Amino acid sequence: MDDPVSRRRAAPLFALAFAAAYGAAGLARAEGLPDPTRPPASLMAGATAGSAAVVASSAAPQLQSVLIAAHEGGRRVAVIDGQTLRVGDKFKGARLASMTDTEVVLVQGKQRQILKLFPATATH
């Protein structure tokens, strides 16, 4: 079994077995990494199996985008929960009172609610 011919035949098989074992180990390590495109768990909590994520209606509104034109008198819009609004527009009974590059103010009666584009995140 130690002749040169059997060693030549065994070398490719050994290389193939090594590559398969190394590749499987690499896949096992990759499975532990989080998917950066997956929605946060808080959004997934209200989802049912096989359906899109459903956010509870009692959840606070989320400011998703703010667009303020650079020139005076240009377009100024905010997107809250998928709804595009301008200053003065109504959102679920509240009036959009003001906006900056990073936040908007909703007013309903005497209540003021500030929505931030980049809310503070919890640190671990």
> pLDDT digit string (tens) for 27-47?
555 567 777 777 776 666 554
Q: Is residue 13 part of a domain?
A: no
Which residue segment(s) compose the domain that 92 sits in? Answer: 57-116
* Distance (Å, whole) CA 65 – CA 72: 20
Evaluate whether residue 70 is within a structural domain.
Answer: yes
Total domain count for the chain? 1
Is residue 33 within a helix (H) or strand (E), and if so which, with residue range? none
Low-confidence ranges of the chain (pLDDT < 50): 47-57
pLDDT at 1: 52
Task: Determine how many CB atoms are found less than 10 A away from the CB of residue 73.
Answer: 6
Write down how long the chain is: 124
In 3D space, the residue among 111, 106, 109, 101 whose CA is nearest the CA of residue 77 turns out to be 101
The whole-angstrom separation of Cα 12 and Cα 18 is 10
CATH number at residue 90: 2.30.30
